[in-house]
Amino acid sequence: MSVLPIYTYGAPVLRKKARTVTAASDGILRLVIDMFETMHKAQGIGLAATQVGSLERVLVVDLSEMEGYGELRPMTMINPEVISREDRSTMEEGCLSIPEVRADVERAETILVKYRDANLQECELRASGLLGRVILHEIDHLNGVLFVDHLDPDLRLVHAEKLKKIEKGEIEVGYPIVTAQNQMV
């Protein structure tokens, strides 16, 4: 298992759309294992492959340390697709790729998502609350969308200085990162 560096705001890979995984492979399994290791090291609850520089449609979620979610097992979602959305709610979000920036984001309250598990078995899950939100946040990453893209222009302006510092690599976090400044193009 390896802890991978997390790409931060401004890194071009975060704006790319991930490609569909077509076959199970040792590479995909290794990616999933490393993503869990990376997410846990960074004390996150969700991570998309694009955040670690891989353009595969893979995300991982682990809410087991969150109050009320102790029974929920960590999950891998390959090629996730939202089938339906119900209601709306607003909740504060943050992101390992945008450290120290948090803002209220409106999203669907309940979703039905179709995906493949780590064995590429087809699955469906109805998720609401924090679980649904994390899945939507990570699927956004797989589509090149960041949570700050959901903010109205005035609120983005409030965070503009911090986003610029992240883009310049002027941040300190407790996990390995690749900034837009030190990324090899």
Residue 42 and residue 7: Cα distance in Å, rounded? 12
- Is 107 in a helix, a strand, or coil? strand
Distances (CA, A) of 172 to 24, 53, 90, 166: 36, 20, 28, 9
- Is 135 in a helix, a strand, or coil? helix
71 is catalytic: no
Which position among 124, 138, 167, 172 bears the catalytic label? 138
φ, ψ of residue 153 to 5 degrees: the values are: -55, -40
- Decide: residue 98, CB within 10 A, 0-12 exposed, 13-18 middle, 19+ buried: buried
Residues catalogued as catalytic: 138
